[in-house]
Amino acid sequence: MQYILASQSPRRKELLEKIIPEFLIEPVEGEEVLTNDHPSVAVQKLAQAKAKEISKKHEGEDVVIIGADTIVVKDGMILGKPKDAADMRRMMEKLQGNCHSVYTGVAICYWKDGAWMEHSFAEETKVYFFPMSEAQLDAYALDPDGLDKAGGYGIQSKAMVYVKAIEGDYNTVVGLPVARLYHELCDLGIAN
């Protein structure tokens, strides 16, 4: 059985290597479309779209495709990837000194008995940030690190100095809840 990660995220790659030593990486090309569903449902739909896109290339093959997506939610508003540095600063200003939720949705597609089987789940982790001064917000906006991340920050990078506490799985915030994924794969009978 071959595993495929439907993502080009280096963070997801590192995390998946902890439970599956060998897998292929096939990035998706489709555009992410957010729905107005509850965040846990919306993020699962994003992950499902990724896994399904890759599954079309592997019809009938003995593969397990894993798609994942992460969103940040503050006051009911989903914060995706910032458009630019000013947008990233605006997001951090909203998050600083407060609590927000990070949801990672995971979709698993695998070929069984002549058809694609699909399974998905979402994990939520609450993140608390220390307050940030205007100077800290300005300095943060100068670093492009958060431009490719939901909510404008990566918990494993420079934003870590503003993280006061988390409730839940740290790896959910990084982008792949590997412990839950491992157990879901075991429950489906497709874990190594």
Nearest-angstrom CA–CA distance, 58 and 2: 11
> pLDDT at position 192, please?
59
Kindly state the tokens that stand for 32.
Answer: 């992410």
> pLDDT at position 75, please?
94
pTM of the model: 0.93
How large a percentage of the chain has pLDDT more than 70? 99
Which segments of the chain are extended strands (E)?
2-5, 24-25, 63-74, 77-79, 99-112, 115-129, 163-167
Residues 160, 128: contact at Cβ < 8 Å? no
35 has pLDDT over 80: no
> pLDDT at position 18, please?
95
Active site residue 69: yes
Mean pLDDT of the chain: 93
| CA distances to 58, 79, 95, 183, 191 from 152, in Å | 34, 8, 10, 30, 33
> pLDDT at position 34, please?
73
- Among 69, 87, 145, 187, the active-site one is 69
Residue-wise pLDDT tens digits, 119-172: 999 999 999 999 999 999 999 999 888 898 999 999 998 899 999 999 999 999
